[in-house]
Amino acid sequence: MASPGGKYFIQDKLAQPAEHHASFEALWETKWKPLCDKGIYPFMYGTTEDFEPVVNKIIAAGLKPPYDWDEYASHFFIQAHGLVVQAANSQDKKRASELFMRASALYRIARFPAPRSEKQQIAWIRGKEAALEGLKLQKYPMVEVEIPHIHAANGDGEVLRAYYHLPAHAFPDHQVPLLIIFTGLDGYRTELAVWKDGWAGLGVALLIIEIPGTGDNPGAPSDPESPDRVWSSMFDWTGQQQCIDQSRVVNWGFSTGGYYSIRLAHTHADKLKGVVALGGGCHHMFDPEWLDAVDSLEYPFDLAHTLCYKFGYGTDFERFKKEARDRFSLLSNGILDRPGCARLLLVNGTEDEVFPIDDYYLCLQHGDPKEARFVGGTKHMGEPASFAIILQWLFKLLEIPGDVKKFLSTIPFKAQYLR
């Protein structure tokens, strides 16, 4: 741990439950509504006007932890379906795209933080359908690609599904850089597509992929080595893309995706010009003490139990807590001390209550030298300052002219067809 005496950097915060865990009404009023008003995570492509009717029904039903996830998800379906119908009947391409994306936002929050129930699984499927329809109609269209998982083993699936945008001016004799985004615990490719326009405007191809145990990643969730196999199949595919400059391939992992980016920087260094791990972890994120505390901290729902589900333990939290650190820690399995790490930038907020900043101090103490930028006084991922820090680093690394302010202006969602 980073602090003296074997304590976490935010040790005193572990016993201070966040007020939003009292009920869904508290979550909406104290944490989510301001984010929805701005159209930012986790409400990418969403509007308060779309969500308020649903929120009012959930509040009236008195939902609070522990949630009945089927009951929770069921409140979103009518509103989301109505937007899909409007989109399908629209003759205006831009309007149809917006309506599909707004529907996908409702379905996303319905399956949030992970599709652990039958109706949440339905919401995930319908959200994918709506998002893909909307993304196809945009100025910079995004398509779904099916990457054969040729290195599959030990219970892996056969196909890695991803969203991909290749700039129109890319040709074999005019190659472009590629950014591979690893999504997080709850944000999947359907919403991390929000980064597309900024990179497309700079002529950078974008590939968005979920991590094992989430979305459509085929990696066996409980196998610590499954991501290595998935990424090998991914790089076999990207290496065949003749319009991509293979010397300018970079990776950016968000939140739990940052854990996988740290591993990737050590296991596939020869494929990458650079890697960013934003808000990730590597070892202490699996501490039993940490897992016992985080269900009531910064994260909107039951973080530790969602991680338990994601890593293939289902609802067996006690077994997950007992085994996770020895099984998945990048320190315990020797990854951090493996020589030949790719250029790696570690970014997070010092007050992170999702994954301890202590993990990044640990990274800096092992293996090859790394770069780091900690954002003081901020929580998970160090937002919003972290985005500008990372973009500037990537612009320089890829040798592309980029205006950070202009780029970031493409992220917040602003609906144009509310009436």
Catalytic residue annotation = 255, 352, 380
Cα 389 off chain centre by? 18
Cα 109 from Cα 186, distance rounded (Å): 9
Instruction: Give CA separation, 327 vs 19, 219, 334, 363, in Å.
Output: 33, 16, 11, 18
Cα 252 from Cα 274, distance rounded (Å): 9
Cα 252 off chain centre by? 10
> What is the three-state SS of the chain?
CCECCCECCCHHHHHCCCHHHHCHHHHHHHHHHHHHHHCCCCCCCCCHHHHHHHHHHHHHCCCCCCCCHHHHHHCCHHHHHHHHHHHHHCCCHHHHHHHHHHHHHHHHHHHCCCCCCHHHHHHHHHHHHHHHHHHHCCCCCCEEEEEECCCCCCCCCCEEEEEEECCCCCECCECEEEEEEECCCCCCHHHHHHHHHHHHCCCCEEEEECCCCCCCCCCCCCCCCHHHHHHHHHHHHHCCCCCEEEEEEEEEEECHHHHHHHHHHHHCHHHCCEEEEECCCCCHHHCHHHHHHHHHCCCCCCHHHHHHHHCCCCCCHHHHHHHHHHHHCCCCCCCCCCCCCCCEEEEEECCCCCCCCHHHHHHHCCCCCCEEEEECCCCHHHCCHHHHHHHHHHHHHHCCCCCHHHHHCCCCCCCCCCC
Q: Contact at 8 Å (CB) between 23 and 30?
A: no
Cα 389 from Cα 369, distance rounded (Å): 19
**First CA to last CA across the chain, in angstroms?**
53
Q: Contact at 8 Å (CB) between 214 and 192?
A: no
